[in-house]
Structures are given as C-alpha cells and as structure tokens.
Amino acid sequence: MTTIQIESLDERTFRVTVAGQSVTEHRVTVSPAYHAKLTAGRVTAAELVKASFEFLLQREPNTSILRTFDLPVIGHYFPEYEKSIQERFG
C-alpha cells in the first residue's frame, strides 16, 4: 500500500513524501491562481497536491515522479490531468 504525506512549507510550497516499495520525497509548488483554476476553491491547496499525486501514482511509480516541480508540469506529461482534477472537484 502506498501512503502520501503532505507537509505545507508555505502557502505555495509543499513537501510530499510517498511511501510504497520505496520512499521518495518531492517539493511541489502551486500558485493560488492555478489552485483556483483546478478546484474553484472547493479544497485546500494541500488536498489538490495530494489528489495530484494520487493521479500520478495511477500512471507511474513514485520513483519516476520528478523530485521538484510546479504543479502545472503534470499536464505536460499527462494532457488529461487538468480535466481529471477539475472533474474530481467539480
């Protein structure tokens, strides 16, 4: 079983620890505008980051996820990302 821990470093930056067969640590940033675009403010930025990692983990192992990135980068690799997240929180 994989667990995802989210730690807020400031209002835009999060440390994400993913523990599965191996443990990885990631630093993710999300702007308030992008957070609003994807969730319309329905969930916190931390919840958005967690949902984004759940999305990623359905598609690749935690060892393949970038260690540092801005949340919109996911859409460059997975074009369905934004629509999937918007539907989840819609």
Q: What is the DSSP letter of 54?
A: H
Q: Terminus-to-terminus CA distance in the chain, angstroms?
A: 27
Mean pLDDT computed over 56-68: 97
Tokens standing for 10? 């400031």
How far apart CA 6 and CA 86 sit, in angstroms, is 20
Residue for token pair 């730690």: 7
pLDDT at 90: 81
pLDDT at 25: 98
pLDDT at 21: 87
Helices 45-57 + 32-39 axis angle, to 10: 70
Per cent of the chain over pLDDT 70 is 100
pLDDT band of 27, cuts 50, 70, 90:
very high
Mean pLDDT computed over 45-74: 97
Sign of CA dihedral 32, 68, 3, 9: negative
